[in-house]
């Protein structure tokens, strides 16, 4: 594919590529990036430290909390569990790619309306996860609580809660998050 129409930004790993750095090209929120990174760099640290896209959060760095959830190749993943180099050529969407303070994504607006967050640290991950969850339900992908694996999926309270359970919110905004997602699912 050609990316000529998309602005290319060359960002070097800060402060300079360490010995053994490897080249990587990927598209994040529609913007093409070429970087050189230490092969040990996770996708999460590439985003936060190298590209300065700090909306994606590091809560545990172990795939246990979901704060780093991003959408890569159309699927939600924990960015901390994936090395940056595994994403050569991938398209990645982060919270910054969903909406801005002046133009909120419907889920971002619903989180504000239903107060689906408190400290805000898990929030970008919750929202990225919720976007993907609604997509998974629409695509008919069943979950652990789906009674009928072949019937059309619906975004019931039980389905949404089950599918969102990889995203921990220690402030305990779950009840409000469920309402925010339900509102967008019904729209």
Partner 1 sequence: MKFDTPAGINPIDRMKVVGVAHDRVDGKFKTTGMAPYAYERHDVAPGQLYGFILGSAIAKGHIAAIHTTHAESAPGVRAVVTYANAGKLGKGSKNTANLLAGPEIEHYHQAVAIVVADTFEAARSAAALIDVDYVRGTGHFDLAAAAPTAPLHSEDKDKSKPAVLDRVGDFEAAFAAAPVTLDATYTTPDEAHAMMEPFATVASWSGDKLTVWTSNQMIAWAHDDLAQTLGIAKENLRVNSPFIGGGFGGKLFLRADAVMAALGAKAAGRPVKVAMTRPMMFNNSTHRPATIQRIRLGATRGGKLTSISHISTSGNLPDGSPETATAQTKLLYAAPNRLIGTRLAVLDLPEGNAMRAPGEASGLMALEIAMDEMAEKLGMDPVEFRIVNDTQEDPEKPGRLFSQRQLIRCLRDGAARFDWSARNPRPGNTRDGDQLIGLGVATAFRNNLNVTSGARVRLGHDGVVTVETDMTDIGTGSYTIIAQTAAEMMGVPLDRVVVRLGDSSFPVSAGSGGQFGAGSSTSGVYAACVKLREAIAQNLGVNSADAVFEDGHVRSGNRRVALADAVRGGEIVAEDTMHWGDLDKEYQQSTFGAHFVEVAVDAFTGEIRVRRMLAVCAAGRVLNPKTARSQVIGAMTMGVGGALMEELAVDTRFGFFVNHDLAGYEVPVHADIPHQEVIFLDEADDKVSPMKAKGIGELGLCGVAAAVANAVYNATGVRVRDYPITLDKHLEKLPALIQALTIRNVCEKAK
Q: Is residue 124 within the footprint of partner 1 (CB under 8 A)? A: yes
Q: Is residue 121 within the footprint of partner 1 (CB under 8 A)? A: yes
Applying CB under 8 A, among 77, 98, 131, 132 the residue interacting with partner 1 is 98
Applying CB under 8 A, among 111, 146, 155, 184 the residue interacting with partner 1 is 111
Q: Is residue 11 within the footprint of partner 1 (CB under 8 A)? A: no
Q: What is the largest CA-CA distance in the chain?
A: 53
Which two three-digit tokens encode residue 19?
A: 């010995």
Sign of CA dihedral 135, 141, 146, 151: positive
Tell me if 185 sits within 8 A of 160, measured CB to CB. Answer: yes
Which residues would be at the binding site for partner 1 (CB under 8 A)?
13, 15-16, 18-19, 38, 40-41, 45, 48-49, 52-62, 64-65, 67, 94-96, 98-102, 104, 108-109, 111-113, 115, 117-124, 127, 157, 160-162, 164-179
């Amino acid at each position: 594919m050609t990316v000529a129409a998309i602005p290319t930004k060359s960002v070097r790993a800060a402060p300079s590529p360490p010995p053994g750095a490897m080249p990587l090209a990927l598209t994040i929120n529609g913007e093409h990036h070429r970087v050189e990174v230490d092969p040990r760099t996770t996708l999460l640290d590439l985003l936060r430290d190298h590209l300065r896209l700090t909306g994606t959060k590091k809560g545990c760095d172990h795939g246990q909390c979901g704060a780093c959830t991003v959408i890569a190749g159309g699927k939600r993943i924990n960015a901390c569990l994936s090395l940056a180099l595994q994403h050569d050529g991938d398209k990645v969407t982060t919270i910054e790619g969903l909406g801005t303070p002046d133009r909120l994504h419907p889920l971002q607006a619903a989180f504000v309306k239903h107060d689906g967050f408190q400290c805000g640290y898990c929030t970008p991950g919750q929202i990225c996860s919720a976007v993907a969850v609604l997509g998974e339900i629409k695509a008919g992908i069943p979950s652990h609580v789906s009674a009928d694996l072949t019937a059309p999926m619906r975004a019931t309270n039980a389905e949404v809660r089950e599918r969102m359970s990889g995203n921990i919110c220690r402030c305990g905004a779950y009840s409000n998050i469920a309402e925010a997602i339900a509102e967008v699912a019904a729209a």
